[in-house]
Structure 1
């Protein structure tokens, strides 16, 4: 094993012969540690981004274990220009579904929000018509049927991208799932099946609405409950939007919890109306 003194002599000699050598090595080490730390905090997808979709778990394997160690997608995309996996040309926008040079489908960009995927403003009152238009456009171009004669890799990427677009669309389409997702982006989550945050007066009101719906004898009675519920959901939508704009996340969380109950009643109204048909 080399002695410490010997290593000092070697390093000192190199530093004297090449004055920039020591600074270059220090800079490389600093940049390596900086990029690694950045990647650990930003580049790996969150748990809820991928959910439990089988194809999406397959994508993790494709992206991180293909052996393409030099690929920018495996490391820090915030500092390195992302390039096409096929022709190596830089991708000019994020998210990039296709390479503009060779036209092949690309894998998903890690950590990209549903709002960015669907090209929508990150707001609770987004334009649903624009959302639907974007969805149809992406599905027409990304549908796996379009890649049946392409390479296996392109087929897999198209399946993953198509599934991701579906998930983004269904999440952002309805106000409740959209609001819950916005809270998740900010690190907040409403646990399923819990009502500890609801006060007794509110729960009593819900109980009375459910009882009235169960006892409804005509479509008119059920429709009246449906209209009242829709009005409450409209009011809640305005209140939630206002709370999110002000950054009052706890208030938005409580209002979204109420919206979940009324959304359930709205579904029960539809079921009740189907019984009269």
Structure 2
């Protein structure tokens, strides 16, 4: 059970918005701290679970995995892909277009989203560069550009355009980017009941959510929002350091915490929209 002093640490929002709240609700808080792990909804909890997937470096294109029915072709004695249209070798990866006939190509199987967006495989990314790459690829691969082309090129442009869109939105935000990096390492975080979460952390989350439900002004919501942004910034630095050191379990636990605070950040935005 959490002590009164502990509650003063993990309940900054009620005391910030309503100075006398902590003294008048001490007994209720103590009970809540004892029961909090059973009262959180599934939406805001995570279950640690590993999938038995291949581990190692990020996924790279394995040319030998294509089925015989693939539109791609192979040169005899080579492991490079050939253009589906002119049969010339494709030397670039990813190969969006054939350099010989200029035909748009189908997406390679299992290609990394980092590879598509021409990003280094790391948690800390230049999002400005990511956006520029996204806009360039979408202009080049948009299906409207291939309305007068063959059916194959129309289909491939649609597939690549959708894949580029997925890559951009996955890598843009730290949470989805980090989860994808763990996925490439064979680790998955799924939603569920996290019975092993730290009680003080769970208590803090409950207090933030309850305080947010009770805010009366945009200023009160903004105070919680600024605190949440600070938490996310610290977590981002800690996750980056953990991944650089190869400490995947630590990164996994930190990403679970980031997911909670990302949910709160969205709730703050919803609350602010109510005041508009």
Taking structure 1 as the reference length, the TM-score comes to: 0.74
Residue deviations 1:89-146 (CA, integer Å, cap 9, x gap): 1112100000011000001111110000000011101110010000000000100011
Residue deviations 1:217-261 (CA, integer Å, cap 9, x gap): 100000000000000000000000000000000000000000000
Residue deviations 1:166-195 (CA, integer Å, cap 9, x gap): 111110000000000000000000012342
1:166-205, aligned counterparts within 5 Å? 166-205=165-204
Aligned partner of 1:72 in structure 2 is 74
- 8 Å contact 1:44–1:111 — kept in the other structure? no
The answer for unaligned runs of 5 or more in structure 2 is 1-60
Q: 1:275 to 1:44 in 2, by over 3 A?
A: farther
Aligned partner of 1:273 in structure 2 is 272
Higher strand share: 2
> What displacement does 1:42 show?
4.5
Higher helix share: 1
CA radius of gyration, larger in: 1
- 8 Å contact 1:139–1:165 — kept in the other structure? yes
Aligned partner of 2:228 in structure 1 is 229
> What displacement does 1:67 show?
7.1
Distance 2:151 2:211 in 1: 56
- 8 Å contact 2:224–2:268 — kept in the other structure? yes
Distance 2:70 2:110 in 1: 21
The answer for unaligned runs of 5 or more in structure 1 is 1-40, 46-62
1:36-185, aligned counterparts within 5 Å? 42=62, 64=67, 66=69, 71-72=73-74, 80-185=79-184
> What displacement does 1:201 show?
1.3
With 120-129 and 193-202 compared, the bigger mean Cα shift is at: 193-202
Q: 1:189 to 1:230 in 2, by over 3 A?
A: same
Taking structure 2 as the reference length, the TM-score comes to: 0.74
Q: How many residues align?
A: 216
Distance 1:218 1:262 in 2: 21
Residue deviations 1:33-54 (CA, integer Å, cap 9, x gap): xxxxxxxx94588xxxxxxxxx
Q: 1:139 to 1:252 in 2, by over 3 A?
A: same
- Give the number of the structure with larger relative contact order, counting CA–CA contacts within 8 Å between residues 6 or more apart: 2
Q: 1:163 to 1:67 in 2, by over 3 A?
A: closer
- The RMSD of aligned alpha carbons is 2.2
- 8 Å contact 1:139–1:162 — kept in the other structure? yes
Distance 1:44 1:88 in 2: 17
Aligned partner of 1:255 in structure 2 is 254
